[in-house]
Amino acid sequence: MTATERADPLALGHAFFDRARARLDMAVPAALTDPSQPATRGDIDLDPELWAQAGVIPARPAAVLIGVVDRPEPGVILTQRTTSLPSHAGQIAFPGGKIDPIDATPLDAALREAEEEIGLDRALVDPIGYLDLYCTFSGFRILPVVSRVAPGYTLVLNEAEVEDAFEVPLAFLMDKQNHALHSRDWKGLRRRFYVMPYQERYIWGVTAGILRNLYDRVYAR
């Protein structure tokens, strides 16, 4: 992100969608369904040698929607998972989930999940392109799809899965100065990860890693 865009969120809004369309496409990587193929991003981006030590082979294809709302100052739609879920309870996440046989494409999966989780009308979503495949310690191979979302949407939350849905300013998330590094022990391994705290929201782990990938693809190249 340029100094002008950092100082003026309106400048960021004007440029983001053009930048994303120039750098991303809708080609589905073979690695999404073939674990033998390398994935370029994942939970141990900062310490790639830990994959072998962790003994994790992510194999479950999934897709998430990075919905960027087309306002003068764009926002990214995120959710907070309910505390009753068996995994990643209470965490900040993108709408999305595993790819089912009924889904013709990863995009279809992301749109279906967004409708089921937060009631986002797919007619308001304009796909731009896929980010790099992202592998997780929980066993998923996630393909994020960056999309423009028309403003004025309304949401209906699936309370069994989602406690809240909200926007975080794109200018905040795409400012490298807001990408903090934390670390923690995971099964005897010391793992580093990105954290992007925003107001009372604690954005970390997979969500922060994917947002960092968005920054790298759209602004750092």
Q: How many CB atoms lie within 10 A of CB 108?
A: 16
Return the percentage of the chain with pLDDT > 90, whole number. Answer: 64
Q: Residue 25: which CATH number? A: 3.90.79.10
Q: How many CB atoms lie within 10 A of CB 52?
A: 9
Question: pLDDT-based confidence at 83, cuts 50/70/90?
Answer: low
Phi first, then psi: give them for residue 100, nearest 5 degrees: -95, 160
d(CA 11, CA 78): 22
pLDDT tens readout for residues 17-41: 999 999 999 999 999 999 888 777 8
pLDDT tens readout for residues 198-208: 999 999 999 99
Q: Find out whether 31 and 37 touch, Cβ atoms under 8 Å.
A: yes
Total domain count, the chain: 1
Nearest residue to 146 via CA among 42, 217, 202: 217
- DSSP of 98-114: EPPTT-SSHHHHHHHHH
**Structural domain harbouring 129:** 3-218
User: Is 165 a residue whose pLDDT tops 90?
Assistant: yes
| pTM for this model (two decimals) | 0.91
Q: Return the C-alpha torsion angle 103, 154, 175, 40, nearest 10.
A: 0
What is the model's pLDDT at position 8? 58
